[in-house]
């Protein structure tokens, strides 16, 4: 029986596939079997520089921007909206963004629910904030104005970090604990409410959300281009070209504002945004162009489409379920007590491999495959959970 691969109504299949590939990569790097044995490409860069893992989150924010144009494009094109209708659209945007923020905050609370120690920022929190700001910019400003927004955000952030003296330090710097972004997180959030591994600053902190908005806006411009009436070959060619130029500009900017995911530098925005354009253009070409007449070119994307249509759901549950499993304690033969997830890994996966790095990777891949089966069933039954 032939599988018919089609997008749910109103969705771009290649965008769902690219989103799914991104969130599957998130699950892969977030669920190592053994955190002491991880291959370097699956780790974040210590500070300056980047690894493939550092591209995953900005890719997702870029996709959020692209998705905004498909979700809100009709509203933008209705220039004569009644005020009540505008208020309704604005309310939906804010509610969705705050729901994402609340889901992320819940993950940080679970299972201790201690408001004195909970981390406030997080991945879903940043997604929610970027979604709200980018949606309003998209609805209220022209394409040209959106480009100026990106330029202003990136240059403004660069000047803030590299020129403004850090209170208590006396000079601008890019050191992990004394830069302006770290100072603001420490002042506003306090050490009790930031990422525990860093203690005094947060990789999804306050100031670094500014350039993250620019990442989302690069997606908005890309989505607008894909929705345009331009011939398809022209859209693909220009998107490839723009991606190469934007990524190269990130490398040029790296000379004076180093590529750095943890403080989301402007050069990092350009590098990741350019590579995301190239990635989406490739998916669009394979899946929505040549894949129309040659199904083999798009069949590979099916598991990722299943991931993509329920991306937020699987990301949230893949963070929640391990926490629940680790509340269940199991005695190991050596007499030690571990959580259920660690027990399953140590008992059924690790013994199969002589190399602990391969075992750790196998544990992560097992998580990805388990979710792939669940999401495939949901996809076949047309179950899409919208946030």
Give the tens place of pLDDT for each residue, 224-239: 999 999 999 999 999 9
pLDDT at site 86: 66
Render pLDDT for 75-99 as a digit per residue (tens, 0 to 9): 766 654 555 566 788 899 999 999 9
Confidence of residue 218 (pLDDT cuts 50, 70, 90): very high
Q: Token pair 């494009």 is at which residue?
A: 73
Out of 141-145, 196-200, 269-273, 321-325, least confident range: 196-200
pLDDT at 295 over 90: no
Structure tokens given for 154:
């990136």
Do residues 200 and 191 lie in contact, with contact meaning Cβ atoms separated by under 8 Å? yes
Average pLDDT over residues 201-215: 96
Average pLDDT over residues 346-361: 95
161-165: Cβ within 8 A, 24+ apart? 161/207, 161/257, 161/263, 161/265, 162/256, 162/257
pLDDT at site 78: 61
Alpha carbons 276 and 61: distance in angstroms, whole number: 10
- Residue ranges with strand state E in the chain: 329-331, 337-339
170: left (phi over 0), alpha (psi -120 to 50) or beta: left
pLDDT at site 84: 52
Average pLDDT over residues 41-66: 97
pLDDT at site 79: 52
pLDDT at site 20: 96
Confidence of residue 1 (pLDDT cuts 50, 70, 90): very low
Residues, the chain:
387
pLDDT at site 297: 77
For residue 33, whether the previous peptide bond is cis, meaning omega lies within 30 degrees of 0, is no
Alpha carbons 233 and 182: distance in angstroms, whole number: 45
Average pLDDT over residues 274-282: 97
Average pLDDT over residues 297-319: 93
How do strand 337-339 and strand 329-331 relate by DSSP bridges? antiparallel
**Who's near 337: CB < 8 A, 6+ residues apart?**
329, 330, 331
pLDDT at site 5: 47
Of the candidates 156, 129, 130, the one whose C-alpha atom is nearest the C-alpha of residue 218 is 130
Do residues 27 and 371 lie in contact, with contact meaning Cβ atoms separated by under 8 Å? yes
Which whole-number Å values give the CA distances from 233 to 229, 281, 289, in the listed order? 12, 11, 9
pLDDT at 329 over 80: yes
pLDDT at site 9: 44
pLDDT at 198 over 90: no
Average pLDDT over residues 177-193: 94
Percent of the chain at pLDDT above 90? 83
Alpha carbons 268 and 274: distance in angstroms, whole number: 10
The conformation of residue 348, written as its DSSP 8-state character, comes to I
Q: What 3-state DSSP class applies to 337? A: strand
Alpha carbons 271 and 357: distance in angstroms, whole number: 29
Q: What are phi and psi of 338, to 5 degrees?
A: -130, 165
pLDDT at site 4: 39
pLDDT at 3 over 50: no
Of the candidates 324, 263, 311, 295, the one whose C-alpha atom is nearest the C-alpha of residue 66 is 311
pLDDT at site 8: 46
């Amino acid at each position: 029986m032939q599988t018919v691969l089609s997008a749910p109504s109103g969705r771009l299949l290649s965008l769902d596939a690219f989103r799914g590939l991104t969130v599957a990569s998130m699950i892969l790097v977030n669920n190592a079997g053994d955190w002491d044995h991880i291959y370097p490409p699956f780790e974040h860069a210590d500070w300056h520089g980047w690894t493939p893992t550092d591209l995953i989150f900005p890719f997702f924010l870029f996709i959020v921007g692209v998705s905004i144009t498909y979700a809100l494009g009709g509203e933008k094109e209705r220039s004569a909206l009644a005020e009540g209708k505008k208020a309704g659209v604005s309310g939906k945007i804010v509610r969705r963004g705050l729901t994402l923020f609340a889901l992320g905050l819940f993950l940080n609370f679970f299972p201790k629910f201690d408001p004195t120690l909970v981390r406030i920022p997080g991945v879903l929190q940043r997604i929610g904030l970027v979604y709200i700001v980018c949606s309003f910019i998209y609805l209220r400003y022209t394409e040209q104005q959106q480009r100026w927004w990106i330029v202003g955000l990136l240059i403004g952030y660069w000047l803030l970090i590299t020129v403004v003296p850090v209170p208590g330090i006396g000079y601008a710097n890019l050191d992990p604990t004394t830069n302006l972004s770290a100072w603001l997180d420490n002042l506003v959030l306090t050490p009790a409410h930031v990422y525990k591994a860093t203690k005094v600053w947060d990789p999804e902190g306050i100031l670094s959300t500014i350039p993250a908005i620019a990442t989302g806006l690069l997606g908005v411009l890309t989505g607008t281009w894909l929705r345009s009436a331009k011939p398809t070959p022209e859209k693909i060619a220009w998107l490839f070209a723009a991606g190469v130029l934007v990524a190269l500009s990130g490398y040029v900017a790296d000379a004076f504002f180093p590529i750095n995911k943890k403080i989301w530098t402007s050069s990092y925005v350009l590098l990741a945004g350019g590579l995301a354009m190239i990635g989406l253009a490739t998916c669009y070409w394979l899946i929505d162009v040549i894949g129309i007449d040659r199904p083999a070119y798009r069949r590979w994307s099916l598991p990722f489409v299943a991931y993509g249509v329920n991306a937020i759901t699987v990301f949230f549950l893949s963070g929640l379920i391990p926490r629940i499993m680790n509340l269940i304690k199991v005695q190991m033969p050596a007499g030690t007590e571990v959580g259920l997830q660690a027990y399953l890994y140590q008992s059924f996966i690790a013994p199969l491999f002589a190399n602990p790095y391969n075992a750790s990777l196998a544990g992560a891949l097992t998580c990805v495959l388990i979710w792939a089966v669940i999401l495939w069933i949901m996809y076949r039954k047309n179950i899409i959970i919208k946030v």
